[in-house]
Chains A and B, each alone.
Chain A
Amino acid sequence: MLPLEGIRVIDTSSVFAMPYTAAMMADLGAEVIKIEALQRLDQTRRSAWGLWPDNDPGERPWDRGGPFCTLNRNKRSLVLDLSREEGRAIFRDLVRVSDVLIENYTARVMRGWGLDYPRVRDIRPDIIYVSNTGYGHHSPWESYPVQGTALEPMTGICHFSGYIGDRPWKIGQSYPDFVAMWHALFCIMAALRHRALTGEGQWIDVGMYQTNVSFLGEAILDYAANGRLGGRIGNRDHTGAVQGCYRCRGDERWIALTVRTDAEWRALLDVVGCAAWPQGAPPATLAEAYARHDEVDTVLGAWAAEREREEAVAALRAAGLPAGPVNDARDLLLNPHLRARGFYEMVEHDPVTGVGRRPIIGRPWKLSRTPVSIRRPAPPLGEANAYVLQGLLGLSLETFARLVAERLTGELDAPPEPPVPIPLDEQVRLGRLHRYDPDYRERLGLGQTAAVSG
């Protein structure tokens, strides 16, 4: 029995943080019903996130996006328009038979609809109600709209991220979303335990901002106690290790390595040699190497530039040093370690979507007794309308037909906005993509190559 079997989750959320949260609950065995309105699809179903199979929007672009399929696996899809009272009446009926409700509207929306925590608790007293906003409810900025991209510098982390002497940098993609997701999941699981022991539900009010600042504790205390503001040091270590990222032979081939002790420093000298040091003798200790970091970077940069990436990594690892390649998505999908661990799962998508078989990000953890997997692909829009409305809630066939006719539920026959795929060649030329592999299907073992539109 999976840990969350028997738990039903209503997921009205959009974009990354909360959809991914609900997906983890679905992976763990919960029944997750994702609710969208025909007039207001999850943003990851829309063109701005249109990352379609072979860059082809196809007949049902809203069901075909890679991020959407990743963030919504193992869920069911219900179309229901909550902006109309009849939609909300149905929603309340669904709440009565559900355990967890996840929403990420700005603070005024659920209140305006009469669906905020106090009202929902009246219907289902032990509900675990999760609100995710940029800054948290009942606070000066509660109505400020924000998403991960704009939030990242607010949290303080960009002050510490970037090249020496340069402006602050954002790193990765929408980082604050994931930090919010992990904390939200933690609180939901803890709340489920509390409910199991006491019968009491509660409101979980996630401000993404606060969750992210919690990852900067030591830097904030350094300021509070020592007045030190810190700043950007590139890829260097702030606690005395010597490290960096260096370019090898070939197209965008880089390695990263770290030296943490005097013994590791001597091991590194054995690998790179003592001849190439501009100031004569190489640093004898880690502390001296840290003090001469620019010179160390020059020597290591020259050493790496003459080598293949795999050769350089192998030499450093053979000396017992922490070292590795800067992997891109292809490296990761073909990586033998992640293959052995089954980190990416091959998922066969619903035939109506035309997505086919694709590897999808699994989970960064494994359970010994109840292995977790992607049991069903992301749902085509409205796939569970009949299951939820007629099956779970017992609406008659006539009522169901009327709701479809009024577009309170139903399916989509055309995309709300015309999809505009930018040809991959053009994206490469504009610097939006580094490159693409026309033969990626063979490389990933997906079978025959379809024509990738260049």
Chain B
Amino acid sequence: MREGEKSVAAVAVAQAHEAAARGPLAGLRVLDLTWHIAGPYCTKLLADYGADVIKIERPGTGDPARHTPPFYHDRPDPEGSLLFLYLNTNKRSVTLNLKHEAGRRIFLELARRTDVVVESFRPGVMERLGIGWEVLSALNPRLILTSISNFGQTGPYRDLPASELVEYAMSGIMAISGRQDREPLKHGLSQGQYSAGATAAYITAALTYAQALGQPGQWIDVSIHESLAAELVMNEPYYAWMGAIQGRRPPSGDGLNNIMACKDGYVVLQMGGSAKWSDIADLLGVPELHDEKFATPDGRTRYAEELDRLLEAGLRARTKHELFDEAARRRILFGIAQDPADLLNCPQLRARGYWVQVDHPTTGPLPYPGEPVKMSATPWQLRRPAPLLGQHTAEVLAELGIDKEECERLRAEGVI
């Protein structure tokens, strides 16, 4: 029966995919004043799911991400930052000097015709540029303004500088990450920025639904710091419910639910789901693990050090892929530590059609992460690679009725 079920569902999904021409945000016009990672990931999601995102960049230099490594073949090039290329797919680029009065007027003309503005300046900068919420909402009452900042638009930390590391430290995540006998740890790369970007994307999308029903626009204030602090759904209640403060991980006796070595890499064996303790003992083939003292959570806590030695002995004898496949058969929660090469070769990601070839003038085709979520009627789509700096300036200004000659004049004045 299960096979039959699968084909019914698969056919339905295939039909829905065929019917779809555009993403769920088709027709949504977005002006993107953001830079670096958080804001661009927000507008990438909007663009990849169908919105027309116009990225406003500073003439000459553009988004600072253009100057941030990694670069294609390690050659610094504003059109070769792999960070920038990944985060700006499906967007159009317009250069515009917002400090110039003519630039401001062009921006306001665009804002009059747009549905959403997303910005990630320090709080107060939009107002100083004369394009703050008061001005924009008076001009276009339907408009949604999404502001992404380190600590939000209000409160005593509003104007404090921050970094990815400082956000992680202040969020509470680092206090429970790493070893007790070493310094607190953050996630690698720039997860805090991506987290805030995805957060900003969903609340922006929620308001586009209200907008489609005819409700007036709103100003959304997204805090990067709070985006991370909102993850602590156990750690916060520990204190609020009983005054307890969690620490970092003990240096030993903490193997279960944590990363352990196997024969050829690292794995996680997690308790929970439908697997029983005896399933785990069978998976590892270590007879001592069948001892009753390990069968309860309490016992596993009390005999944790001994348990770790037995788990490690079992894991060291097997390869990660053998263990992964067998754990799945036994319905045990199990994971292996993968690196980018593993991900690019992963049969699951390939089967889901996750990797998309994106052909950019600087790099030629490269495999990018594609569809994060499948939507049956309105799928993720790649329409264009990341834009060259100012690639669409003339095209977008033409939509405002600004002709070639005037473009030349604006260019000469440093407006675009």
Contacts and interface: CB of A to CB of B under 8 A. Distances in A.
Contact of A219 (B6, B180, B209, B340): B340
Given A172-B231, A178-B231, A235-B165, A223 B340 contact: yes
Contact of A203 (B184, B216, B298, B376): B376
A170 B331 CA distance: 22
Interface in A135-192: 135-141, 143-147, 149-163, 167-173, 175, 178-179, 182-187, 189-192
Interface string B309-339: 0000000000000000000100111111111
Contact of A364 (B184, B201, B227): B227
B374 interface: yes
A4 B259 CA distance: 40
Interface string B245-289: 111001001100111010000111111111100000000000000
Contact of A221 (B172, B234, B366): B366
B246 A433 contact: yes
Contacts of A432: 246, 301
Given A147-B333, A170-B258, A439-B243, A183 B372 contact: yes
A256 B165 contact: yes
A408 to B, nearest CB: 22
Interface in B123-178: 133, 151-157, 160-166, 168-178
Contacts of B166: 256-258, 322-324
A197 B22 CA distance: 13
Given A138-B10, A146-B335, A69 B237 contact: yes
A213 B354 contact: yes
A333 B240 contact: yes
A28 B73 CA distance: 46
Interface in A178-225: 178-179, 182-187, 189-194, 196-197, 200-207, 209-211, 213-225
Does more than half of chain B's interface fall in helix, strand or loop, or is it mixed?
A: mixed
Interface in A26-66: 28, 43, 48-49, 51-55, 65-66
B205 A190 contact: yes
A210 B245 contact: no
B137 to A, nearest CB: 9
B169 A255 contact: yes
B368 interface: yes
B242 A222 contact: no
B347 interface: yes
A228 B375 CA distance: 33
B235 interface: yes
Given A136-B374, A223-B341, A146 B172 contact: no
A380 to B, nearest CB: 17
A206 B373 contact: yes
Interface in A348-402: 355, 358-370
A317 interface: yes
A366 B220 contact: yes
Contacts of A118: 8-9, 12
B402 interface: no
A330 B195 CA distance: 23
A24 B374 CA distance: 21
Nearest to B210: A3
A302 interface: no
B371 interface: yes
Given A135-B348, A337-B151, A186 B205 contact: yes
B209 A193 contact: yes
Interface stretch (A79-87, A90-98, A244-252): A244-252
A169 B178 CA distance: 7
A224 B344 contact: yes
12 contacts: A28-B206, A67-B237, A173-B234, A178-B195, A193-B211, A203-B12, A207-B374, A256-B170, A367-B221, A433-B245, A436-B245, A441-B243
